[in-house]
Chains A and B, each alone.
Chain A
Amino acid sequence: MTQNGYKRDGTAGTFHDVLDYTVLEWEEGNALIEMQVQPKHRNRGSSIHGGVIATLIDIVGDMAGIWTPEGERKTVTINLNVNFIAGTSADVVYARGTRAHATRGTLFSNAEIFEPDTGRLLANGQGIYKLLRLGTETAPGIASKKRAK
């Protein structure tokens, strides 16, 4: 399943909205997203904030492993490692996630952030995620009162 340039369902009002990214490719084991760099994503020095880069790696690594024909699986991140390789003045960045390995309960993904035009690598990282059992509605440790929000 590859559709081009769409927003994910159900992300309105969440942190995904702040990143404001677009899905370019999403299939089993692979995801590519695009983010327009806005002033709110930048640092005092006008570079992209490290937290934004880390968030993109978290999101795209997750997406690479949760696509199923029946819909998205739910996960929680266990560990995230990010290497910041180069700065950029690009207005658009791409993030690609690939599934490295998955067991029944755990997902290991690799992710790269790069400039779309030049392909220059800006950051890479690895994410480890716990795959929640199908039918899980809320993340572990979250009481149901927050679900209403």
Chain B
Amino acid sequence: MTELGFRRADIKGTFHEVLDYTVVEWGDGHVLVEMEVKPEHRNLGGSIHGGVLSSLIDLAGFLGGSWSPDGPGRSVTINLNASFIAGTNADVITAEGKRMHATKNTLFSKVWIREKDTGTLLTTGQCTYKLLHPDTKESPGVAKK
């Protein structure tokens, strides 16, 4: 894994840990994350599962649009569209997320997933997020037990 990279601090025990990605670059309007492909990320046929790529799109699109000096805000995903362009046998892939547009409540992002070594484009995606108020602690519709 890249020396530059870091793991996000607040993700222990969540789905983020299953993906086990590293944030390589993170600034206002863009992010680059890197993921080492493990057996548990693969399909029956040995390719990367479409759900893993969709998950990377979801989180890179959000990180790409939500950088702030105090860390990322909170959001819920409204829509996600992924186009799977090519298969790969690479062991490391990158996901680049960019903010296309944001209003007070809504974020539109695009994501490109590539092979790290060759830069071959594997998947593109577009996401729409609802940005939650900074004081929101729980996602909408999730009642406290």
Q: Which residues of A contact B (CB under 8 A)?
A: 10-11, 13-19, 39-47, 49-52, 54-56, 58-59, 74, 76-84, 86-89, 137-143, 145-147, 149
Contacts and interface: CB of A to CB of B under 8 A. Distances in A.
Contacts of B13: 39-40
A59 B145 contact: no
Main SS class of interface, A: mixed
A49 B89 contact: no
Contact of A47 (B19, B39, B142): B142
Given A58-B51, A142-B47, A89 B15 contact: no
B84 A49 contact: no
Nearest to A88: B141
A15 B52 contact: yes
Contacts, number: 179
Contacts of B143: 89
Interface stretch (B25-33, B75-83, B96-104, B105-113): B75-83
B87 A46 contact: no
Interface string B20-54: 00000000000000000001111111110111101
A133 to B, nearest CB: 13
The bracket for how many chain B residues form the interface is: 35 or more
A81 B136 CA distance: 27
Given A44-B14, A45-B137, A80 B54 contact: yes
Closest 6 CB pairs of A and B: A51-B55, A55-B51, A141-B87, A87-B141, A49-B15, A15-B49
Contacts of A74: 44-45
Contact of A50 (B10, B18, B80, B83): B80
A50 B62 CA distance: 11
A76 B14 contact: no
Interface string B93-135: 0000000000000000000000000000000000000000000
Given A58-B50, A58-B51, A83-B79, A45 B84 contact: no
A14 B42 contact: yes
13 contacts: A14-B49, A19-B51, A46-B138, A47-B76, A47-B142, A49-B14, A51-B51, A51-B55, A81-B79, A137-B45, A138-B46, A141-B89, A142-B45
Contact of B58 (A17, A44, A51): A51
